[in-house]
Amino acid sequence: MYNPSSMKAEEFIDHQEILDTLAYSDEHKNDRELILQILEKAKERKGLSHRDASVLLMCEDEELNEQIYKLAEQIKKDFYGNRIVMFAPLYLSNYCVNQCVYCPYHLKNKHIPRKKLTQEEIRNEVIALQDMGHKRLAIESGEDPVNNPIEYILESIKTIYSVHHKNGDIRRVNVNIAATTVENYRKLKEAGIGTYILFQETYHKESYEHLHPAGPKHDYAYHTEAMDRAMEGGIDDVGLGVLFGLELYRYEFAGILMHAEHLEAVHGVGPHTISVPRIRRADDIDPSTFDNGIDDDTFAKLVACIRIAVPYTGMIVSTRESKACRERVLHLGISQISGGSKTSVGGYYEDEPEDEDSSQFDVSDNRTLDEVVKWLMEMDYVPSFCTACYREGRTGDRFMSLCKSGQIQNCCLPNALMTLKEYLEDYASPDTVEIGMQLIQKELDNIPNPKVRSIVEEHLSDIHSGKRDFRF
């Protein structure tokens, strides 16, 4: 029986409920009246249940689909304006004892170079990332209790926060490591992490077990219940995700929304972010061997429907996706993107020799951060390097209640403009500076409160004189 308040994975991700949802959405996908009712409900900006959202996902009527896209776009605008938060991944180690069949770091891959960064190497990587202009990282590591124990992760986080090169500063470290114990989550919280990210990969238990034939990750319940342990350990912000292509996308869509419903029911706060990676080619991985791949149109629909279903949840798209695809989904709901990413262990400080490629997957968008920032601004987006909420203690339900009341908007644009100005002063190319300065000038007029606007103007001039790190 589906029970969002249950602490058991198989009850809050109830297989039969997902099958019933798929049948229900098939049955109603051309039910115009119902779809219009769901759209009306969605306009209240309070989100949708997994069942209602699944009907929208399956809708085949072109005119109604137009309405779905328009609403997603409007919700995106209302909650996130034209700001896009920037981040980069930092791979610490690709030693791994798991056997995920879609990832080249699986234990049985004997030819991929195994690497683990030393603290000195981490320092170099962080300096290189700071020199690009990054302020927010997501650290990644394989699961290996001997090579990458929690102590190594904690030490690495400490190192990252300790590096201050020129005006560089990593102000938020999000962590993407294997499911672990409440005690370890508590340690991560104490180390000052931002979001704890863990991709479910697939919510389909049988497929999950098949795709993870051995190793600690084989345990579906332990993996699926990880976010509850993270929250018990004091981590307020958790990030969900599935790897699209492994299972039927409609199954995953219902599953991830049920997971969000569960977090809301039990902890009073839904996921901070949802990531939407699609399976990519990598060392010994051929994506065509997975027969659930989704095309760009379906991907866009998926993004739009997630945006409508969970308006307060940030959505992330990485450099797995091409420039064209990223451009398409940005306005439908994506609020965070990576730029200038390396998906290998090391590689920011020094290029990896070709015969030593340790990448987890091939990157589709190979542009530099400066190129990505410029591209965003040319489309009238404001790239933001803001990390203010986490540093002001606005996490978990405090963040969500601010978000739901609309108050957060008074912080986001000012912070985006001030952090963009820092980026332009310290790292941007002359062309990017030119576009950026014009954009900041134009966007200042969109700060509704005159008092806030004048404080921002003052800070922008302070930033020009060399001061840093202003925030609301």
CB of 71 to ligand SF4, least distance (A): 22
Choice between 35 and 413, CB closer to ligand SF4:
413
CB of 226 to ligand SF4, least distance (A): 12
Q: Which residues contact 292 (CB under 8 A, 6 or more apart)?
A: 244, 245, 246, 247, 248, 249
Q: Return the range that interacts with ligand SF4 (CB under 6 A); candidates 27-35, 103-111, 285-293, 297-305.
A: 103-111
Q: Considering only CA atoms, which of 17, 35, 79, 29 is closest in space to residue 404?
A: 79
How big is the site for ligand SF4, counted in residues (CB under 6 A)? 20
CB of 389 to ligand SF4, least distance (A): 3
Is 424 a binding residue for ligand SF4 by CB under 6 A? The answer is no
CB of 301 to ligand SF4, least distance (A): 26
Q: Is there a contact between 366 and 347 (Cβ–Cβ < 8 Å)?
A: no
Is 345 a binding residue for ligand SF4 by CB under 6 A? The answer is no
Is 412 a binding residue for ligand SF4 by CB under 6 A? The answer is yes
Is 106 a binding residue for ligand SF4 by CB under 6 A? The answer is yes
Token output for 176 = 């993407």
Residues across the chain: 472
CB of 260 to ligand SF4, least distance (A): 18
CB of 335 to ligand SF4, least distance (A): 8
Q: Is there a contact between 257 and 50 (Cβ–Cβ < 8 Å)?
A: yes
Q: Is there a contact between 271 and 230 (Cβ–Cβ < 8 Å)?
A: no
Residue from 68, 86, 96, 345 that binds ligand SF4 (CB under 6 A)?
A: 96
Is 82 a binding residue for ligand SF4 by CB under 6 A? The answer is no
* Pair type for strands 83-93 and 336-338: parallel
Tell me the H-state helices in 29-60: 32-42, 50-58
CB of 51 to ligand SF4, least distance (A): 29
Residue from 13, 100, 139, 309 that binds ligand SF4 (CB under 6 A)?
A: 100
Q: Please, which residues bridge with residue 282 across strands?
A: 285
Choice between 185 and 361, CB closer to ligand SF4:
361
CA–CA gap between residue 230 and residue 237 (Å, rounded): 9
Choice between 85 and 170, CB closer to ligand SF4:
85
Residue where the block lists tokens 């998906």:
343
The string of DSSP letters for 271-289 reads -SEEE--B---BTTB-GGG
Is 85 a binding residue for ligand SF4 by CB under 6 A? The answer is yes
Helix (H, G, I), strand (E, B) or coil at 242: strand
CB of 415 to ligand SF4, least distance (A): 5
Choice between 96 and 122, CB closer to ligand SF4:
96
Q: Return the range that interacts with ligand SF4 (CB under 6 A); candidates 99-107, 182-190, 263-271, 425-433.
A: 99-107
Q: Which residues contact 53 (CB under 8 A, 6 or more apart)?
A: 253, 257, 305, 306, 308, 309
Residue from 2, 87, 105, 251 that binds ligand SF4 (CB under 6 A)?
A: 105
**Cβ atoms within 10 Å of 281's Cβ, excluding its own:** 12
Binding residues among 358-387 for ligand SF4 as defined by CB under 6 A: 384, 386-387
CA–CA gap between residue 341 and residue 332 (Å, rounded): 23
**Cβ atoms within 10 Å of 451's Cβ, excluding its own:** 8
Sign, CA dihedral 433-438-440-443, equals negative
CB of 358 to ligand SF4, least distance (A): 11
Q: Is there a contact between 62 and 69 (Cβ–Cβ < 8 Å)?
A: no
Binding mask 140-159 for ligand SF4 (x = CB under 6 A): --xx----------------
* Chain contacts with ligand SF4 (rule: CB under 6 A): 85, 96, 98, 100, 103, 105-106, 142-143, 178, 217, 384, 386-389, 408, 411-412, 415
